[in-house]
Each structure stands twice: as structure tokens, then as C-alpha cells.
Structure 1
Amino acid sequence: MCFTSLIFFEVMILIIKDLISNLAILVTTLFLYTQVTSDSPLKTSSSVSRKIIAGLLAGVLSNVLMQYSMDFGETIVDLRHVPLIVATYYGGTLPGIITMFLIITGRFMIGVNPSSLAALIMIILITCATVLSNLMNVRRSIKISTALTASNIIFTVIISFLIRDLNIMLVLAPSFWILSYTAGFTSFYIIEYVRKNQKVLDNYKSEATTDALTGLNNVRKFDETFNQVSSQAKQKNERLSLLFIDIDHFKTVNDTYGHKEGDQVLIQLGEILKNTVRSFDVVSRNGGEEFTVILLDCPTERAEQISESIRENVEIHPFSLTTGETIHVTVSIGLACYRETTESTIELISDADAALYEAKKGGRNRVCIA
């Protein structure tokens, strides 16, 4: 009896040890993959090529896990199903099917026998169960639990026909279930953890360069971009125009309607600027009611036309307030152009600012050229 118990205990240790090795490989690989692809994570809306690559990588990982599987003579046992579930959950049916075919191919390369045929049936059933669970209109944890539970049930039923030793099955089945759940939930936790951190980092980056109210570049991004395009203009011998834009009597708007309504004016002005300038021009909110537009490779004459279009579009636009009222505002614009009105890019900002001052001094709602 003691000898039997000792053998039972040794078998249990070997099974758990091999499954933990699988778990370590799986978790480490998924962590590295998620870190590398954090800028463009796999989604159901990802491109077909992206899904194909994800399916291929998941299939390769499953084959690696099979190389470190437990060999029971009649069959081998591992956690190859987890990458399939992960790929299907995040990428949809296509990467799941690709992973399935790679698993089947890899299993038959290990050997063609009743065990590999059983593995074929098992992985097809697991793929179908995973795809169906992914279509369920429930929260993520339930989808994952359903896919893992279905996989564990399918594994247990099929493996029971291959391994007839009851003592081994009494250890293998519960050990597999526990580590399958552990591997599955750990994999999803790692992926979500890395994605969440990347999202926070992206938000920090965006906040560092984007005006929170209008979604335009902020003054920090303006400075960075201006330095870049100034250098390019010098190298390529191009003209570079800069517009300084200020809302006329904006303080009166805030005093009369409140800062909340003033924010609505700023937001709508940002939209007007983006819709009026060319798609490759750079619009920024430099602070308060002050905006700038960098017009790339743009001579003074063309810059003046764009400036007048901005001024006119603002003048005729009914700015909607949250109260349902509409008001009208105007803007003053200062224009400077490198190589035409200004000899140095260093002086471009000060010249555009000086031109803006002249526009406001001259009666507002006008464009002045440096």
C-alpha cells in the first residue's frame, strides 16, 4: 500500500512539474509578445495580415509547448490549447483557425497514431468551443471561463480513452484542470496588464502634447513641431508661413456667458481651423484664446488667402452654446513668412506675434502681414 502511494505521489509530482514548465514557457512568451506588440495590440478589428501573423505566432507557441509535453506512452499532455484560446479571443476566428491547423500539423509531425488522431479531434472541438464562447454576449471573464472549462472537459473525455491507468487519471485530470485555469487566467491577466499600462502611457504622452479641451497640439507640441519644420524649410529651401490667431474680445464672452460657454467657442474654433487649413498644416492652441497655424511650404500670398478664409469662416459661424443660444465672434490674425517677410526662422514667431498686435491695434477682425 505504501509502495503504491509512493508511486502515486511520484507520478503526481512529475505531472505537476511538467505542467508548470509548460506554464512558465507560456507566460514568459506571452509577456514578451505583449510587450513587443503593445503599440499595436491584436484586436478583432485588426487587419487580416495582423491576424494571420498572430495566428502563426500562437501556433508556433503551441508547438513549443508540445515539445515540452508530458509523455505517457499512449499520448502526450500539455497546455497547447491556451495560445489558441488567447488568439481567438483577441483576434477572432481567423487566428484561431490558423493556430488550430499549426497545432494539428505539429502533432502529426511528432507521430501518426491513435493518440494524434484523438488530438486532432480534441483541438478541433476546442477551437469550435472557443469560437462559440467568443460570440457570447457576456463579459470577458465569462467568455474566458467558458472557453477554458469547455477545453478542460473535452480534454478529460478524450484523454480518458487514451490513458487507462486510473491512478494516473486521478492525478492528471485535476492537475490539468487547475493548471489549465491558472495558465489561461494568468495569460489574460498579463496581456490586459500590459495593455492597460500601455494605454496609461499613451494617455500621458497624449496629454503631454495635446490640448485637453480642443484636441489640438498644445504649446509644447507646437514648439517641438516648429523647430522640426523650421529645420526642414532651411534644408529644402522652402517657404514657411506662420499664423498667430486670437479671438477678439474673448474676455467679454467669458464674462457674459461664463467660462463653460467660452470653452465651447474655443472647441468650435479649433474645428473651424482644422477644416479650413490644408490637411498637412499644423494647428495648435498655444494657450487661452491664442491659436497658431504652421503652413508648410506656403508663400505669403497663399498664406494670406488661407488667413482670410479662416477670418471669414469664423465671422459667419454661429457658435453654439450649451444653453441653446448662438453667438458670433471674430478673430485677428498675424502672418509671417520665412524667406519673404522674415529672413530667419528664429524671428518668425516674434514677427507673426507683432503682426497680430497690429491687426488688433488696427480694429480687429482682420489679417495683418509682418
Structure 2
Amino acid sequence: MSLRNSTNRVAPDPSIGEGLLNLLAGLTLDTPTLVFSIGALALFMSVFAFNTAYALPASDMGLRSWGLAMLTLCGGFMLLFLRGHAPLALTYVLANSLVLLSSVICVNAHARLLEMATPWRTLAAVNALGVLSTAPVYLGWLPRGASIFTLSLTLAVNFAISARMIWRHRTERESPAGLLAAGILGSMAVTSVLRGLHGLGGDHGTVQLNPHLLPQIGSLMLGALFTVGSSLAFLAMVNERQRHELEARARRDGLTGLLTRTAFFEAAQAYLAEPGGKHFGVVMMDIDWFKKINDRHGHAAGDTTLSQLGRLIAQHTRLSDLAGRYGGEEFCLLLKDCTMAEAQRVAQELVGEAARQNVRLPDGGTLRFTLSAGYAQRQGLHESLEQVINRADQALYDAKHAGRNRAMAALPTPLPATLPESRSAAAPSGRTEEAGGSQAA
């Protein structure tokens, strides 16, 4: 007998499903309980956000705004919970105003996190309409459903503004947390619209697990889920940004602010792999008599000189170019899509500007320094990045021997008879400065 024929099939017991349905049918979720739960969840998320902001005092990233938004949301829902036990001006007008205000502060928190401008004028106009819609209901001029419709649409607009900001920022930088946050906020906007449309049909004081009341069940249960989900998504975005900033810092030299040697070659190889990464120039620079600066003024003066030169290089290069600290007091520039004349202009400008610098030392004194540079342009696809750097480095060596404080062009190399089959990916090692040795500050 085959194994397939010998297998016994167990039919599902219909009594299990019937028992679950009977259990659910006996449950009743009243509105005050759900409203209080959302308020409590908002309070918990507020405390969590404020605690995280306290742990990151150097960078707020919108955490305090998010904590304030959740605290405001908690206040609004706690006032809603007191409906029937407190004046309607508090439990309806003020409560709904606080809920709208919380969504506005959420938009501001997202803007601060994404380093974008908060659309205050749009938010003020839209939310003023939402708040004013509560007055006719409070005075008995309109049914409550009309106010629910206006308030829900106002919330939908606020959620949509946040979702749009996050989505725009996500297109600039891949962000899984941003995708999650935008999805949650977009769902909140759609749910608010549906809640507003349903509110036109009347209000219900009790929410039961009944097919006829599923829209109210969805609005309150999803409200609790959205409170937690949007907060967790926001905190995930904060963590993501913090990770990106740490990675960016690791790629930068702490003294000069330029790329580290490893990061420079990684970025350069990435540029060469691009379709347009064929033509470029290289400028190699070195501070003249840097060892004497360290010996005469101390290593703190050397550090200050390196830091000032790093700022000078950043000011005289395009954002698309790559500038890195090659080693010690030596720096390297990769000028994208650059001609030999352009490389010469950049090198001469940096040499001339360096000679005019006055370095203010920690002890109050000043010093001046000069710069030597060598520059080269890629001669063709047969020449690797390392070969161009070596030619520029040799030109820098020639500038040193020619008297320093000058920029010299690299000599061209003869074209090879055949293209090499492989390239060495290793970066050329740095060269020590003039006789006597060189010290990095």
C-alpha cells in the first residue's frame, strides 16, 4: 500500500468555528473603553519619544515635537472619554481641537526629521476650517455628522501632507522606514476620509462586533493601531537617519572634514563605474615644511593648519568632485569631467590661496604656510585611476624640488601597444615628504 493511500485525512470540526463565532458575538466594545485605550497608548508613545530625545541631546530630529504631538493626542482623547461627565465645550470642541493640533505637530515633527520646511500656512488654513466646524454643532445649528465629516477630512489632509513629505524624501534616499511611515500615514488619510463619509450617516454611541457597525469598529480599532504604528515608524526613521549620519561620519576625516583615504577610493571607483565616469583630472597637494610647523609650533598648530586647509579645499571644489585626505599632510582631488586646463586652474588657485592664509593658533598666535601641487588628466580608458594619481604625485614631487609653493603638470605617458587585461584595485601607497620625514598632526 502506498504512503499516499495510507494517509488518514482529518476533517475539520465545525464546532470549533461555531464556538469562535459565538465567543466574538458575545463581546462588546464600547466607545469610552476604546477612546481611553487610544489616549493611554498616546501617552505611552509620548513618554517613549521624550525619553529617546533625552538620550540624544545633541540631535533632536523631531523627537520632542513627536512627543508633544502624542501628549496632545492623549489630552484630546481623555477629554473625549469624559463626554457626558464634563461640559460639551471641553469634551467636544476642545477635544477635537487637540486631536487636530496633534496631527499638525506630527507634520512639524516629520518636517524636522527630514530637514524640510513645515507648510504652516497650509496647515493653518485647513485646520482652522476643521476647528470652526465644531462651533455650529456645539450651538446645535448642524448635526454632529457634518462636523465629523469636516474634522475627518482635515485629519486626512494633515496625514496626506506628512505622507507626501516622507515619500518625496524617500525618492532621494532609499528608506525602508520611510516607506513604512508613508504607507501608515496614507492609510490613516484614507481611513479618515471613510470615517468622515460614514459620519454623515449618523453617530453610534456603542461599538459592537456586528456587521452593521464595522465602520465604527474600524475607525476606533485602527485609530489605536495607527497611534502605535505611526510612532514606531517615526522612531524607525529616527534610527535610520542616525545610522546614516554615523556612516557619513565614519567616511569623513575627523580633522579636515574631507573623505578618508578608503572612502575616497571607494567613491572614485564608484564614479569610474558610471557610464560618464571616463574623463577626470587629479590634483595631489602637500603642505610645505609641515614637519617644521609641528616642531616649531607643536602638533596642535599642525592640526589647526590641516583643518584650515581642509576647509579651503572644500570651498574651492565643486560638490560633485571628490576631496580626500590622502595621508598625513597630503591631499587628493578627483575632478570629474575635467580638462587639463581646469585641473591647472584648480591647482593654482589652491596654491595661491593657501599662501594668503593666516592660521590662528590655539595660543593666540598666527602662522602662514604654503602648498605644493601636482595635477594630471586621464589620457584615455587604458589609464587607471592609480596611474593618474601616480603621475600627479610625481608632478607634486617635481614641484617640491623646483622650490615648493607652486603647481606643476604631470608628464604624459606613452600609449600602450595593447590594453592590459586586468587592473590592480590596490590604491598606491602614500609618499613621505621631503628629507627629514613627515609627521601627521
Pairwise TM-score range, normalised by the shorter structure: 0.5 to 0.7
Q: Which amino acid aligns with 1:85?
A: L
Counterpart in the other structure of 2:398:
358
> Is 1:98 aligned to 2:126, yes or no?
yes
2:103, 2:83 → 1: CA distance?
Answer: 26
User: In the alignment, which of 256, 273, 283 is matched to residue 231 of structure 1?
Assistant: 273
Is the deviation greater in 239-248 or in 199-208? 199-208
User: In the alignment, which of 376, 387, 395 is matched to residue 336 of structure 1?
Assistant: 376
SS of alignment partner, residue 241 of structure 1: strand
Is the deviation greater in 18-27 or in 202-211? 18-27
User: In the alignment, which of 291, 308, 311 is matched to residue 271 of structure 1?
Assistant: 311
In structure 2, relative to structure 1, the CA distance for the partners of 1:105 and 1:202 (3 Å cut) is farther
Post-superposition offset of 1:287: 3.5
1:294, 1:207 → 2: CA distance?
Answer: 20
Q: Which amino acid aligns with 2:35?
A: L
Q: Which amino acid aligns with 2:398?
A: E
Q: Is the 8 A contact 2:399 2:407 kept in 1?
A: yes
2:273, 2:44 → 1: CA distance?
Answer: 44
2:255, 2:301 → 1: CA distance?
Answer: 12
Q: Is the 8 A contact 1:107 1:119 kept in 2?
A: no
Q: Is the 8 A contact 1:284 1:291 kept in 2?
A: yes
In structure 2, relative to structure 1, the CA distance for the partners of 1:122 and 1:204 (3 Å cut) is closer
Counterpart in the other structure of 1:298:
338
Q: Which amino acid aligns with 1:18?
A: L
Post-superposition offset of 1:87: 3.5
1:255, 1:362 → 2: CA distance?
Answer: 24
Q: Is the 8 A contact 2:45 2:228 kept in 1?
A: no
The superposition leaves residues 34-87 of structure 1 with CA deviations (integer Å, 9 ceiling, x where unpaired) of: xxxxxxx779xxxxxxxxxxxxxxxxx9xxx9xxx9999xx9989765552334
Counterpart in the other structure of 2:285:
245
In structure 2, relative to structure 1, the CA distance for the partners of 1:193 and 1:289 (3 Å cut) is same
In structure 2, relative to structure 1, the CA distance for the partners of 1:16 and 1:252 (3 Å cut) is farther
Give structure 1 stretches of 5+ with no counterpart: 1-11, 31-40, 44-60, 124-181
Counterpart in the other structure of 1:210:
252
2:400, 2:298 → 1: CA distance?
Answer: 23
Matches within 5 A, 1:123-138: none
Q: Which amino acid aligns with 1:360?
A: K
Q: Is the 8 A contact 1:208 1:220 kept in 2?
A: no
Give structure 2 stretches of 5+ with no counterpart: 1-27, 47-60, 64-72, 109-117, 153-223, 411-441
User: In the alignment, which of 72, 88, 102 is matched to residue 86 of structure 1?
Assistant: 102
Q: CA RMSD in A?
A: 5.0
1:259, 1:267 → 2: CA distance?
Answer: 12
In structure 2, relative to structure 1, the CA distance for the partners of 1:360 and 1:83 (3 Å cut) is farther
1:241, 1:28 → 2: CA distance?
Answer: 56
In structure 2, relative to structure 1, the CA distance for the partners of 1:25 and 1:97 (3 Å cut) is farther
Q: Is the 8 A contact 1:320 1:327 kept in 2?
A: yes
Q: Is the 8 A contact 2:45 2:231 kept in 1?
A: no
In structure 2, relative to structure 1, the CA distance for the partners of 1:313 and 1:118 (3 Å cut) is closer
Q: Is the 8 A contact 1:300 1:340 kept in 2?
A: no
SS of alignment partner, residue 30 of structure 2: helix
1:222, 1:194 → 2: CA distance?
Answer: 30
Report how many residues are paired: 262
Post-superposition offset of 1:328: 1.3
SS of alignment partner, residue 298 of structure 1: coil
Q: Is the 8 A contact 2:257 2:311 kept in 1?
A: no
Paired-residue identity, % = 25
2:383, 2:238 → 1: CA distance?
Answer: 48
SS of alignment partner, residue 294 of structure 1: strand
2:373, 2:232 → 1: CA distance?
Answer: 51
SS of alignment partner, residue 284 of structure 1: strand
Q: Which amino acid aligns with 2:328?
A: G
2:234, 2:381 → 1: CA distance?
Answer: 54
